[in-house]
Structure 1
């Protein structure tokens, strides 16, 4: 995918604004019991979104595939929708957010009034 594609550039920026955890932070989180069973299955199935997000975070913008673009769009939309009504005291909500690489308790989680 060419790095000069404006749509890819827009999605890349939106994705990286939505995902406020590094690939390593997300990988460590997904390996914990707190993340939930569906995060990193024992058989190593890389079709799981958490693992795909980790892999995407390790990529350069010019190396994204069409599948990556679709994932960036889904993750960005999910995070924005969830942040519209934040529930930081809800552990299940926080775990769902963290499974896609967004820690809602991080200082850079969203608008300062949330």
Structure 2
């Protein structure tokens, strides 16, 4: 991938798969139930599902932008903080903040 070293891609891949702690099936259920009009979060969640089905070598520059965005949104999460994403919003991205992060991530 142009503009990104192998080490940067490896780091992003690891961070992304560390914050996405829900299965594709679980994310799909959350997205199907989404009826509150938060289309930006749902749109990103659909992209997360696409990325989860790819190999690292198949990623596009747009995929890496989405991955950075997801990692940033999840890392910005602070329970009860004004302006921070809610649990429902994060679950649309594949992150359930009530679950423990997999060992070795974050």
TM-score class, shorter-chain normalisation, is: 0.7 to 0.9
| Paired residues, number | 96
- Higher RCO, Cα 8 Å, sep 6+: 2
TM-score scaled by structure 2?
0.77
- RMSD of aligned alpha carbons: 2.7
Gaps of 5+ in 1: 41-46, 110-114
Task: List 4+ stretches of structure 1 deviating above 3 A.
Answer: none
- TM-score, structure 1 as length reference: 0.72
> Matched residues in 1 for 2:66 and 2:11: separation?
13
Equivalences for 1:5-84 in 2 at 5 Å? 5-33=6-34, 36-39=36-39, 48-82=43-77
Structure 2: segments with no counterpart, 5+ residues? none
2 CA distance for matches of 1:70 and 1:60? 16
